[in-house]
Amino acid sequence: MIRAIAHVDMDAFYASVEQRDRPELRGLPVIVGADPKGRGVVSACSYEARVFGVHSAMPISKAARLCPQGVYLPVDMDKYVRVSADVMAILGEFSPLVEPVSVDEAFIDLTGTETLWGPPYEAVRAIKARIKRETGLTASAGLAANKFIAKVASDLDKPDGLVVVEPGREPEFLAPLPIERLWGVGKATAKELQGLGVATIGQLQRIAPRALVARLGPHGPDLLDLAFGRDERAVEPFTPPKSMGAETTFERDCREPARLEETLRYQAERVARELRAEGLAACRVTLKLRWADFRTLTRSHTGDPTQDGLEIYRRAAVLLARERLVQAVRLIGVSASTFRPQARGQLPLLDPAAVRREQLARAVDRITGRFGRSAILPARLLGRDDPSE
């Protein structure tokens, strides 16, 4: 059976929610993110703001220069999550196979739903209409025989668009698009492909597999499969998180190792709380640093599974100590990945205090769940503001 998979992507989600709730902002360049007088980045922006060159993940200071007349609003994640839940509930009425990708996008498998909703194209139109009617927001969608093509299609006719790619026409659909549209093609891979004279996906389709292997290694054949639109992944409605993390952008670039370590300590506790809440332990801890010139590096360590904030901090601090602070740090972050189910009371072999800390952490979770996160803290952090919030 040929699959029918849609990718539904809310248009300028955060900014659109703000414009919906505050009609006086409609038609204005709305930019949601950090304080424009401070640091941080743009989380989302309206289409009116994009005319000025503003886009998500842009430094907020640059956005303020490009669009000084913009309306700058803080992120209200609780509100966006509530609206997202309404959207996902609508998708769930059309198929039990809904895979949220983020707060504002999801895949939905409509294969075999024709007797309920008609042809998949009509079902997607009905989904878009329901979202508009019930939330007041627009969504763009792509419909194809696999997830990759549906994702690419949903981005080609924004806002409020619907692009359908007929099965068998995937190579033709992809051919004129730039190679950067392929998953896994960043600046480095794009430069390698340009060395082969490849700028579009159609040009990549004509490259011999052995030439790609010679240039890109084992990643080459996978890239060629995507260039022809091959993707066999199923829509997975209960995909566990792949990583959990916390980042902090400093108000002023930081050169103080003590402050960097203190920030890591807060972040490690935050990540550990999330791990315990999900019943997970992480084997891999990753440190992220962004320098004042916006260059970014990541360093990782893999060890025994842990959900202990102190242990996560220790691993991240070791990674930090190995790096020379060649310039001031703009952003620091820590994340945990490579998850395993939590295993209570089975960690004493290398660290006799691990079980005691595990029990202590759960007691702290109960206290902070009732009285707030600042009710009890590691002594090192008492009397200090949490920079990770």
Mean pLDDT for 313-324 is 94
Name the percent of the chain in helix, strand, coil, to the closest 5.
Answer: 45, 25, 35
Rounded to an integer, what distance in angstroms lies between the CA atom of residue 338 and that of residue 346? 18
Give φ, ψ of 67 to 5 degrees.
-135, 70
Q: Are 29 and 44 in contact (CB under 8 A)?
A: no
Rounded to an integer, what distance in angstroms lies between the CA atom of residue 147 and that of residue 4? 9
Rounded to an integer, what distance in angstroms lies between the CA atom of residue 95 and that of residue 234? 14
Q: pLDDT at position 345, please?
A: 44
Q: pLDDT at position 357, please?
A: 64
Output the average pLDDT for the chain. 89
Sequence-distant (≥ 6) Cβ neighbours of residue 257 within 8 angstroms: 320, 325
Element (DSSP H or E) covering residue 297: strand 296-306
Domain 1-166 matches domain 171-227 at the CATH topology level:
no
Predicted confidence (pLDDT) per residue in 205-230, tens digit: 998 888 888 888 877 888 899 999 99
Least trusted range by pLDDT, from 160-174, 235-249, 293-307: 235-249
Q: pLDDT at position 216, please?
A: 81
What's the token pair of residue 43?
Answer: 């989380």
Rounded to an integer, what distance in angstroms lies between the CA atom of residue 282 and that of residue 307? 6
Q: pLDDT at position 66, please?
A: 97
243-381 in CATH: which number? Answer: 3.30.1490.100
Rounded to an integer, what distance in angstroms lies between the CA atom of residue 337 and that of residue 305? 10
Q: Output 375 or 337, whichever has higher pLDDT.
A: 337
Give φ, ψ of 2 to 5 degrees.
-70, 130
171-227 in CATH: which number? Answer: 1.10.150.20
Rounded to an integer, what distance in angstroms lies between the CA atom of residue 64 and that of residue 281? 40
Q: Are 95 and 110 in contact (CB under 8 A)?
A: yes
Domain boundaries, the chain: 1-166, 171-227, 243-381
- Owner of token pair 């004129």: 176
What's the token pair of residue 227?
Answer: 């260039």
Tell me the C-alpha to C-alpha distance, in Å, between residue 71 and each of 8, 15, 28. 27, 10, 7
Rounded to an integer, what distance in angstroms lies between the CA atom of residue 43 and that of residue 36? 12
Helix or strand or coil: residue 44? strand
Catalytic one of 48, 105, 170, 358: 105
Predicted confidence (pLDDT) per residue in 19-59, tens digit: 999 999 999 999 999 899 887 889 999 999 999 999 998 99
Q: Output 215 or 6, whichever has higher pLDDT.
A: 6
Per the CATH hierarchy, to which homologous superfamily does domain 1-166 belong? Reverse transcriptase/Diguanylate cyclase domain (3.30.70.270)
Q: Are 79 and 17 in contact (CB under 8 A)?
A: yes
Is the pLDDT at 85 greater than 90? The verdict is yes
Helix or strand or coil: residue 45? strand
Q: Is 105 a catalytic residue?
A: yes
Q: Is 236 left (phi over 0), alpha (psi -120 to 50) or beta?
A: beta
Predicted confidence (pLDDT) per residue in 64-84, tens digit: 999 999 999 999 998 999 999
